[in-house]
A and B are shown apart, each in its own frame.
Chain A
Amino acid sequence: MKPIRRKYSVLPGFGLTMGYTVLYLSLIVLIPLTALLLKSASVGWEEFWRTVSSPSVVASYKLTFGASLIAASINALFGFVVAWTLVRYRFPGKRLVDAMVDLPFALPTAVSGIALTAIYSRNGWIGQYLEPLGIKAAFSPLGIVIALTFIGLPFVVRTLQPALEDLEKENEEAAASLGASRLQSFRYVILPAVLPALLTGFAMSFARALGEYGSVVFISGNMPMKTEITSLLIVSKLEQYDVAGATAIATVMLLASFGLLLAINLLQWWSSQRHRGVA
């Protein structure tokens, strides 16, 4: 790759701002992340593998990925309904509801964690009704799903809203004039058009859930092999001064996140390609 070279511009300040950007980015983000990868490489393949494939770690992957997948699916479904009602319908309190959707972004994760635990524990507001049904919400995988649903909700809603707003009413009118029922319009015209946005929101919600820590540690109960998420394992390794072990697991999670990031970018590229040209 050639060095960064810019076309001529009359505006000043490129050297200064670009230099600062690259320096700051390197110091804060790139060098520390490289340190993680280098540390991980220095662990040695065998030990690395032994750490990341030990039973408790594998159990944590299953739990983390499984719960994240379920939470992201719940969010995709209900997020769609929420985005749809917010874009298409008018009802009292809509602005308030719209603003509230961002609460999981704004509320510190530790606060959501203890609040959800309080609600879903055995004598909590909701937990007391689940208990007689034999459903244990807090301190079980279900609790983890609840916490991950909470923190991932805004992603689906916020990526779908602009996509739904961009839909041209004429497309649905065309479908209706061609004899399609409302359900057929939805299935064949609306859904395919917003599918990239829906998948993007799903992937973002899933990615966020994979790395989530604060809101889960309180409600999960952290029982070894049962309700230990991967982030928690990294923290406990660190607390036992097993930096190498923590690094190895973190590397696996980091690669998974980057893979998802790549998938999200591809999705967005795909959707922009499809929309190109047709005004």
Chain B
Amino acid sequence: MEATLNKAIPIRPAARVRAATEEPLWVKLSLIGLSVGFLMLFLFVPLLAVFTEALRKGIGAYFASLSDPAALSAIRLTLITVAIAVPLNLAFGLAASWAIAKFEFRGKSVLITLIDLPFAVSPVISGLIYVLLFGMQGWLGPWLDSHGVQIIFAVPGIVLATIFVTFPFVARELIPLMQEQGTEEEQAAVTLGASGWQTFWRVTLPNVKWALLYGVILSNARAMGEFGAVSVVSGHIRGKTNTVPLHVEILYNEYNFVAAFAVASLLALLALVTLAAKSVVESRLHHHSQKTLEPATAEE
């Protein structure tokens, strides 16, 4: 009996003890399974559905839906909107981050909160506020109308609503980064005789270029895809005030599912391109910020 007991306790080679801060393998595997499963169900399946539904009637029907004149005009309008909204917000983001990150003044945190405000406003309300200002029942509507200017149910309203919903993207990427970088490099440039513009162009901008690009990618995606805000101000005039997402809605509500999903697949492709670009820029951003931070931590 004793002999068997002794045998039952094997002399194990060393180092089979699990590290102190790790979970057992089965826990790890179930958590990975759970999260991948959850993401598959919630993210991957919908994405796959878009392309499957779009190609349900074959590749011919797919391209026919895309080359439909109404679809083309929606694409054109979306591109025009983005071409106006994104550069305007980019210019704003640069101005705001320069003022906020490079100078000390009272009320700075209030200003930052106000810049972030559009994120807290729901899409429908983002459209509604312009209807209240420029619509026929709004403050400026009748006056604008008598001068032959139409904003609501027209392109300017769509552009305004798009600017509103993408307002903070560039600024909120730039402000923290520029604050972190401080003003030492700019001061060095100024002492070396650089003008303000040269300082900005040659010192500040290269330091924040990846964050800037990141902000632009995000606002571009949102600008092309915005639905709620634009829907409220557009008036859904086919061929005139329909952006791509609104065109998807119209086709869907007309039970023209294949065409709706075909046009939607364009937006889904855009989303995938955005994600890819985003992760490339993110790794650059990470790399860059690590590089700039290293000397500071080494000083300790």
- Direct contact between the two chains A and B in their complex (CB within 8 A): yes
Binding site for B on A (CB under 8 A): 1-2, 4-7, 9-14, 16-18, 20-21, 24-25, 28-33, 35-36, 39, 78, 81-82, 84-86, 89, 91, 93, 95, 97-112, 114-116, 118-119, 124-126, 149-150, 153, 169, 172-173, 176-177, 182, 185, 207, 210-214, 218, 231, 234-235, 238, 241, 243, 246-247, 250, 253-254, 257-258, 260-261, 265
Q: In the complex, which residue of chain A has the Cβ closest to the Cβ of B224? A: A108
B interface SS class: helix
Whether A231 contacts B42 by the Cβ 8 Å rule is no
B75 at the interface (CB under 8 A from A): no
The answer, yes or no, to whether B77 is at the interface (CB within 8 Å) is: no
Known: A111-B264, A261-B120. A10 touches B164 (CB 8 A): no
Pick from A82, A91, A101, A109: contact of B225, CB under 8 Å: A109
Q: A11-B103, A29-B167 are in contact. Are A99 and B46 (CB under 8 A)?
A: no
CB distance from B91 to the nearest CB of A (A): 8
Chain B 15-66 residues near chain A, CB threshold 8 A: 20-24, 28, 31-32, 34-36, 38-39, 41-47, 49-50, 53
Dominant secondary structure of chain A at its interface with chain B? helix
A10 to B267, CA, bound (A): 46
Partner among B46, B133, B160, B272 whose Cβ is within 8 Å of the Cβ of A115: B46
Q: How far is the CA of A6 from the CA of B244 in the complex (A)?
A: 45
In the complex, given contacts A32-B132, A110-B249, A214-B245, what are 4 additional A-B residue pairs having Cβ atoms less than 8 angstroms apart? A21-B95, A33-B117, A105-B218, A108-B227
Q: For the complex, give the distance between the alpha carbons of A93 and B218 in Å.
A: 24
4 tightest Cβ-Cβ pairs between the two chains A and B: A211-B122, A108-B225, A12-B196, A214-B227
A261 to B202, CA, bound (A): 37
Of the 9-residue stretches B3-11, B142-150, B182-190, B288-296, which lies at the interface with chain A?
Answer: B182-190
Cβ of B171 to closest chain A Cβ, rounded Å: 9
| Cβ of B207 to closest chain A Cβ, rounded Å | 14
A214 to B275 Cα, complex, angstroms: 20
- B21: chain A residues within 8 A (beta carbon): 169, 172-173, 176, 185
Check B45 against A125 for contact (C-beta < 8 Å).
yes
Contacts A10-B190, A118-B49: A106 and B221 contacting too (C-beta < 8 A)? yes
A101 with B137, Cβ < 8 A, contacts A28-B167, A172-B21 known:
no
Q: List 27 A-B contacts (CB under 8 A).
A: A4-B105, A10-B187, A11-B199, A13-B200, A14-B99, A16-B95, A20-B91, A21-B111, A29-B117, A29-B118, A84-B35, A89-B32, A93-B36, A98-B279, A106-B270, A110-B264, A111-B248, A115-B46, A124-B49, A125-B45, A126-B41, A153-B42, A173-B21, A207-B120, A231-B123, A250-B125, A261-B116
Q: Which residues of B contact A31 (CB under 8 A)?
A: 133
> Contact at A111–B268, with CB atoms within 8 Å?
yes
For chain B, residues 216 to 236, give those with C-beta under 8 angstroms from any C-beta of chain A. Answer: 218, 221, 224-228, 231-232
With a cutoff of 8 Å between Cβ atoms, the chain B residues found around residue A5 in the complex are 105-106
Let me know if A32 and B129 touch, CB within 8 A.
Answer: yes
Contact A108–B121 (Cβ < 8 Å): no
- A100 and B98 form a contact (CB under 8 A): no
* Given the contacts A32-B132, A110-B248, A238-B128, A11 and B92 also touching, CB distance less than 8 Å: no
Give the docked Cα–Cα distance between A1 and B50 (Å).
53
> B125–A103 contact, CB under 8 A?
no
In the complex formed, the residue of B with least CB distance to A12 is B196
B245 and A110 contact, CB distance less than 8 A: yes
| Cβ contact within 8 Å between A91 and B103 | no
Residue of A nearest to B283 (CB): A95
Selected from A100, A173, A214, A234, the residue in CB contact (under 8 A) with B43 is: A100
A27 to chain B, nearest CB (A): 9
